[in-house]
A and B are shown apart, each in its own frame.
Chain A
Amino acid sequence: MKPRNAREAKQLRRIEESRLPAESFTRHHRRRLAATAGACLALLWANAGVSLALAPSDAAMYTNFAVLAVILPVGLWAYGRIIVTTRGTVGLPAHLLDERQAAERINAHGTAHRATLVLLLLCLAAVMSLMPGEGYTERLPGAAAVLLFVALIATVAALPALIIAWRLPDAPPDDEDDEHEHGEG
């Protein structure tokens, strides 16, 4: 669990020395963060759907810009908070995790893998239904195909983090010695 370079040491310090209030580390707060990040992913999927229905058009383009303007800052903020509030179970390199944290991460990746496999099959079915034989290019706009891939990539990348944030139980309270050492004084 030792950092191997300055970047990892900085990552670890950022998590260990976080000044977020104690309630930020509760399961309730982490679940709200996971829900926020999940809403950002849902917006990406909706954006792909809008492009599927309206592209190529100005309405589809403006919708795309508006969605990106919302989800980039909000999604990145939520992901950054999830890294800190899961104490690095999300985000830190594997060698900086102990066996419990590594097991949490592996379990979350297993669940996310199954969920994204189902998602990929649904996407395949949706795309296949839009290309019945010849002339499919008219029914599947290029912008929609690209946005569909963007939504898929974002989901595959972010889902394990969301699952970890959702699942982690409340941390045990610090023991009395620690409270005295780190309390007011």
Chain B
Amino acid sequence: MSSDKEHVHNRIAVLRAERGISRRELATALDVHYQTVGYLERGEYSPSLHLALRIAEYFEVPVEVVFSLRPFPRLGSTA
């Protein structure tokens, strides 16, 4: 069922790095397996709406800051 059309881009790795949080710490906070965080960051798994909202809540940002249907602009780009 998953295809490029259904791919959801995310900035979990960036937000996690900015705040100095390890995958294991994030996974514990979200009550998911730590490998699931890795699969999310690699874009190999798209979260449920519930998990997406919990991730946004954890980082204290709106959900659209973390997830997007279009690729996020690279750091330093003028887009």
Q: Which residues of B contact A173 (CB under 8 A)?
A: 38
Q: Is B44 an interface residue (CB 8 A)?
A: yes
Q: Say if the beta carbon of A23 comes within 8 Å of chain B.
A: no
B22 in contact with A101 (CB, 8 Å)? no
Q: Is B68 an interface residue (CB 8 A)?
A: no
**What is B's interface to A at a CB cutoff of 8 Å?**
20, 22-24, 31-36, 38-39, 41-42, 44-45, 47-48, 50-51
Question: Chain A's interface: helix, strand, loop or mixed, by majority?
Answer: loop
Tell me if A87 is interfacial: C-beta within 8 Å of chain B.
yes
Determine whether the beta carbon of A100 is less than 8 Å from that of B45.
Answer: yes
Q: What residue in chain B is nearest A97 (Cβ atoms)?
A: B33
**Which segment, of A117-125, A141-149, A159-167, A174-182, faces chain B?**
A174-182
Q: Answer yes or no: A169 CB below 8 A from chain B CBs.
A: yes
Q: Is the CB of B24 within 8 A of A100?
A: no
A-B contact pairs, 8 of them (CB 8 A): A1-B33, A98-B31, A99-B36, A171-B39, A172-B39, A172-B42, A174-B23, A178-B22
Docked CA distance A158–B4 (Å): 32
| Nearest neighbor of B26 in chain A, beta-carbon distance | A175
Q: Assess the A98–B42 pair: CB atoms within 8 A.
A: no
Q: Residue on A with the closest CB to B41?
A: A172
Interface hits, A15-74 → B, CB 8 Å: none
A171 engages B22 (CB within 8 Å): no
Name the B residues within 8 Å of A97 (CB-CB).
33
- B22, B47, B48 — which one has the most chain A CB atoms within 10 A of its CB? B22
Q: Is the CB of A177 within 8 A of B36?
A: no
| Docked complex Cα distance between A97 and B33 (Å) | 8
Chain B residues near A175: list those with CB within 8 A. 22-23, 38
B33–A87 contact, CB under 8 A? Answer: yes
Q: A100-B36, A175-B23, A177-B23 are in contact. List 8 more A-B contacts (CB 8 A).
A: A1-B31, A98-B33, A99-B32, A100-B33, A172-B44, A174-B38, A175-B22, A178-B23
A181-B20 Cα distance, complex, nearest whole Å:
14
Residues of B close to A181: CB separation below 8 A: 22
In the complex, what residues of B have CB within 8 A of residue A87's CB?
33, 35
Residue numbers in A under 8 Å from B33 (CB-CB): 1, 87, 97-98, 100-101
**Bound complex: CA of A101 vs CA of B48, how far in Å?**
12
A169 x B36 contact (CB < 8 A): no
Return B20 CB to nearest CB of chain A, in Å.
8
